[in-house]
Structure 1
Amino acid sequence: MTDAAIAAAVEAVRAADVVTVLTGAGMSAESGVPTFRDVATGVWAKYDPMTVATPEAWEADPALVWAWYQRRRALVQAVQPNAGHHALARWASRADVGVVTQNVDDLHERAGSSDVIHLHGSLFACRCDMCERPHSVAVIDPDGDRLTPPECECGGQVRPGVVWFGEELPHNAFAEATARATGCDVFVLVGTSGVVYPAAGLAHTARDAGATVIEINPQETELSEVCDITIRSTAATALPAIAGTASG
């Protein structure tokens, strides 16, 4: 992280009326939440995420999928929001800062952010696979590989409230995110690789609408060339440095 990049980011957000922040897997990874890539080589080494995170996987073996997501929920509940989550929440409490996330955890909300757009759904927003009725589900860490999903009153099964591979993003969520990208003065990318579309396209939308685009990521990404300011640091380090000095 360079002082010059932080100074440029602070100057940009101080001059902005509206800021939109898009967070990706790197944001939660600092709290100990594995990315899909980490999952494939760590706790979930014997599963290919593609075989437990698709509609076809749910059709073939809902008990396997349900157990996998229950473990993910238990893992998320065992970790805490990091300094980046808390910095964003404090910033949004005093300025027009909207949070759009590709993450399916609840760390932004637990840090105090009250208005978060979840592009890929949420681990904790389960629903019926037939009637779409929302369901509140107790989180447990299964002993085995399979766990029978709860039943809905309509006879369907309760499924995880996430967007699986092959499914469309929630229309309302993406429309709101697009509006935030179009209407902001500064668009901040935090911990996202920029390879997952249509979410990654929001940076282009913001840039085309005239926003200053800032990237916070230790590594160069597919979106780095779109950015006006790049900060080679992590969210937990860079966001407090920017948000703590941004005017409200």
Structure 2
Amino acid sequence: MRRSAIVFGGSGGLGAGCVRALARDWPAVAITYRAGRERAEALAASLPETCRGYPVQCDVGDAASVRAAVEETSQVLGPIGCAVFSAGCAIDQPYINQIDEATWREVFETETMGFIRVTAALVPLFRAQGGGNFVAVTSMANTRAIVGDTISAAPKAAIEALCRGIAKEEGRFGIRANSVAPGAMNAGLGEHYIAERMTPEFWESFRKSIPLRRFGLAEDIGEAAAFFASDRASYLTGQTLIVDGGYTL
């Protein structure tokens, strides 16, 4: 039986790029959303006829909501073979000494704990069916520190560590876990920052600091996630693929 995929945070930005890429390889993809049902429905309707897109409401900050989304997806689309985690917080990126404890808690609760909730719901199912894989969208800022980006990078560094731990502990059950680390993106939060923060001169200077001389697209991240999710990556686990146009070199 061919299995389905589920993308947490799949209704927009980088998550939507992952959905579109997965739709070429998977017969069905669940698209989770917290509040933006219309975006999820529009994305589902845009997928090729060979893939069924299915919007499902999910708040990764609530373990019961995650379990319900997994159960609904399994019932409607069949066994889940892959989970992509692209959920995150829409927050400003101040200096570390400007971040209060409540903001730290919000980000870690949504991102790090959100990923933990997803894996807690799916690992038992993956074990029972003889395998499955996780792909987490993280950040290249875990490799090259960026001023003002620590609030985003820190919880994703924990997610990368969790992926390595899952790879080590669950590999004997056929479970893989990898992460894709985007660089400067013209999608998702990156699109917001390019449009509304700093000056055009700053972003042009930033673009020129990237060896490939462009910002990344949602499709760039989607292609990497789809590769990790496929049988083409069946011997890859515990790895992080940096997709940044060479910026961290």
Same fold (TM over 0.5): no
TM-score (norm 2): 0.28
The TM-score, its normalising length taken from structure 1, stands at 0.28
- Say which structure is richer in helix: 2
The structure showing larger relative contact order (alpha-carbon pairs under 8 Å, at least 6 residues apart) is 1
